Amino acid sequence: MTFADVAHSSGIAIGVRTQSDNRQAVVVKGVPSYGYAYSVFIIVFVSIPMAPSLLTLDVLFAALALYTFYRFWGNRNRPSANVPPGPSGLPFVGNVLDMPTSYEHLTFAKWSERWGNIISVTLFGQRFVLLNDPDDATALLDKRGTNYSDRPPFTMSAELVGWKDSTTFMSYTEQFKKSRRYFSHAMGSKNTVKRHHGLIELENRKFLRRLLETPEDVHEHIRKMAGAIILMITHGYTVKEEGTDSFVSIADKVLDEFAQATTPGAFLVDALPILRYIPSWFPGARFQRLAAEWRKNLTYMVETPFELVRKQVQEGTAIPSVISGVLEDENLTSEQEYLIKWTATTMYAGGADTTVSAIYSFFLAMTLHPEWQRKAQKELDEVVGVDRLPTLSDRENLPYVEALMKEVLRFNPVANLGVPHCTREDDTYAGYYIPKGTVVIANLWAYLHNSDIYPDPLNFNPDRFLGSNPQRDPRDFTFGYGRRICPGLHLADASVFLSCALTLSAFDISKAVENGITIEPSGEYTSGTISHPKDFKCSIRPRTPRVASLISMELGQK
Ligand code: HEM
């Protein structure tokens, strides 16, 4: 979820990006009259291929006007003099014209040069506070967690598609706390995750075998591995080794639809939540039809594997998993059943794409920086030797691989802006007034590229974490804050580390060469909620002829 997602879902139009061509609404800077609200609205609409009729526009504009009026009326008594500084914005629409539509973290970081580290913007009356310094994030999101642990509403994805019952979108309620308890039992600490070490090692070795067979499909192999680890933990489900696994493919489809539903600016209903009441037959209400279809797929993904586990539990054939553990309780209430079903789905949704991004980033970094790869391989050869592959119990003896993994997590944060928090009560901080209902964004990218904490931050350099004066552990930032901190962090940490160690011990990664020409990866990343390296080509070759037999031998032993 990016800033723009939240902006939109909170009733803000920043500009509409169509699904088909990524065309973005042109927002004209510096329009000096009060007619700009209408201008922006018209511009937004003409960028939609299925532009609705004029009548529809009138209806929608009236809705916008009403909504804006409602927000201003609600905010009219709030003191605004002391809110944190930020771009001045315009009456009614606020900072619509200032907002970036992609790579928001970069623009927000730059704003600090002018506005300081605590910045405030408004969009149609909704206030946002951007935190560009990690100390402020700790002071507010950690230390004042009771107030700063809500989530803003997300109309398209949460309300219409139906993700609202997932842990990530829940408000800070008792239900939420119960859901987080299920996470704690399954993966809440390093020790808990130790229970899954065998599984992580097995799936990583299967990953190596797939890499050996079809290295060009590296991205797909990472996906399969990440999905297989989580599905075994949540549902006791073994992913099919050959061909397509029906559950993984529906889960991937649903996650892809989730990504579309949360694409910044993709759906006007996020800008104008009131539109959710428009019937699906109404001109321009394609979002309702899409939401209905996506909801159907999501329901299938939530229900079908759950029912499978229920049947296995009844028959006594279930493999121990998060769900089976709960279903075996004879006093289970329907409320608990509903919660565990959604919590397990959240584990998959939260864990699959994020871990994939981190491991794919590692492959990109190794393609671009062979010198660091050699250093890590030297350490692996010295510590583990060449007669076996590394395991998680080697971890404490592999400080260089550890440093390399930290640098991968720092260099490109998986979620640049984390997931937005929201305040429940009015607050004051550093002399500023932060009203109830403010959306608070921690700019994780800015923390991980702060040159006071990480000198020369744009340089990929694992050495920064070694020696007598190591720089700060990026895991302090990259997993977010307070009561909403990533509950999968220990699982992710173990999975990503082992993928780095095993891959480097078995393979050499280098730039691909086609027809004698070396292909340079662009090194670019996608914008959006979860940032992935843009697809790139690389060469992945076994380091020695023994690698294949080593992998088969170890897989045979598992
Ligand atoms: C490298 C991998 C990962 C990274 C960098 C990452 C990062 C994050 C971040 C930044 C947040 C937002 C925290 C906040 O609101 O302050 C988050 C939330 C979350 N993550 Fe992760 N994550 C990763 C892997 C995982 C895994 C493996 C799982 C589950 C198995 C998971 C499940 C979740 C869930 C459920 C939330 C929402 C928590 C809530 O709303 O209370 N993540 N993650």
Q: Does residue 497 line the site of ligand 1, with CB under 6 A?
A: no
pLDDT at 447 over 80: yes
Name which of 226, 214, 286 is nearest 255 in CA terms.
Answer: 226
Q: Which residues contact 343 (CB under 8 A, 6 or more apart)?
A: 167, 179, 182, 183, 322
Q: Does residue 355 line the site of ligand 1, with CB under 6 A?
A: yes
Per-residue pLDDT, averaged over 387-406, amounts to 97
Q: Does residue 491 line the site of ligand 1, with CB under 6 A?
A: yes
Band (pLDDT 50/70/90 cuts) for residue 66 is: low
Q: pLDDT for 210-219, tens place per residue?
A: 999 999 999 9
Amino acid 329: pLDDT:
86
Greater pLDDT, 271 or 202? 202
What six digits make up the tokens of 314? 């009844």
CA distance 82 to 76: 15
pLDDT at 19 over 70: no
Determine which of 31-40, 253-262, 428-437 has the lowest per-residue pLDDT on average: 31-40
Q: pLDDT for 251-274, tens place per residue?
A: 889 988 988 887 666 787 876 788
Per-residue pLDDT, averaged over 40-65, amounts to 48
User: Which residues is 127 bridged to in the sheet?
Assistant: 122
Q: Does residue 152 line the site of ligand 1, with CB under 6 A?
A: no
pLDDT at 283 over 60: yes
- Number of Cβ within 10 Å of residue 472's Cβ equals 17
**pTM for this model (two decimals):** 0.87
For the chain, how many structural domains are there in total?
1
Looking at ligand 1, which atom is closest to the CA of residue 492? 27
CATH number of the domain residue 318 falls in:
1.10.630.10
Q: pLDDT for 284-299, tens place per residue?
A: 899 999 999 999 999 9
Looking at ligand 1, which atom is closest to the CA of residue 151? 40
ipTM over the 0.95 cut-off: yes
Averaged confidence pLDDT in the chain: 86
Looking at ligand 1, which atom is closest to the CA of residue 496? 1
Amino acid 471: pLDDT:
98
CA 445 to centroid of ligand 1, rounded, Å: 15
Amino acid 247: pLDDT:
86
Amino acid 268: pLDDT:
76
Q: Does residue 181 line the site of ligand 1, with CB under 6 A?
A: no
Q: pLDDT for 144-179, tens place per residue?
A: 999 999 998 889 999 999 999 999 999 999 999 999
Band (pLDDT 50/70/90 cuts) for residue 99 is: confident
**β-strands 421-422, 513-514 pairing:** unpaired
Amino acid 81: pLDDT:
61
Per-residue pLDDT, averaged over 440-451, amounts to 97
Q: Does residue 125 line the site of ligand 1, with CB under 6 A?
A: no
pLDDT at 345 over 50: yes
Going from the C-alpha of 164 to that of each of 152, 156, 161, 229, 541, the distances in angstroms are 11, 10, 8, 25, 44
CA 169 to centroid of ligand 1, rounded, Å: 12
Q: Does residue 227 line the site of ligand 1, with CB under 6 A?
A: no
Nearest protein Cα to ligand 1, atom 26:
351
Amino acid 499: pLDDT:
98
Q: pLDDT for 449-493, tens place per residue?
A: 999 999 999 999 999 999 999 999 999 999 999 999 999 999 999
CA 301 to centroid of ligand 1, rounded, Å: 20
CA 492 to centroid of ligand 1, rounded, Å: 9
Q: Does residue 200 line the site of ligand 1, with CB under 6 A?
A: no
Q: What is the DSSP letter of 94?
A: B
Determine which of 203-212, 307-316, 326-335 has the lowest per-residue pLDDT on average: 326-335
Domain holding 61, by residue range, is 3-557
Ligand 1 test: best mutation among 169, 187, 479, 500, most atoms within 8 Å of CB? 479
Q: Does residue 485 line the site of ligand 1, with CB under 6 A?
A: yes
Note the Cα 95 to chain centre separation in Å.
25
Q: Does residue 415 line the site of ligand 1, with CB under 6 A?
A: yes
What six digits make up the tokens of 231? 């599905």
Looking at ligand 1, which atom is closest to the CA of residue 444? 10
Band (pLDDT 50/70/90 cuts) for residue 57 is: low
Amino acid 3: pLDDT:
36
Per-residue pLDDT, averaged over 391-395, amounts to 98
Amino acid 399: pLDDT:
98
Q: Are 127 and 7 in contact (CB under 8 A)?
A: no
Terminal alpha carbon distance of the chain = 38
Q: Does residue 68 line the site of ligand 1, with CB under 6 A?
A: no
State yes or no: 486 annotated in a binding site.
Answer: yes
Q: Does residue 344 line the site of ligand 1, with CB under 6 A?
A: no
Greater pLDDT, 351 or 459? 459
Amino acid 62: pLDDT:
59
CA 108 to centroid of ligand 1, rounded, Å: 22
Amino acid 54: pLDDT:
46
CA distance 15 to 96: 8
Q: pLDDT for 353-371, tens place per residue?
A: 899 999 999 999 999 999 9
Band (pLDDT 50/70/90 cuts) for residue 428 is: very high
CA 470 to centroid of ligand 1, rounded, Å: 25
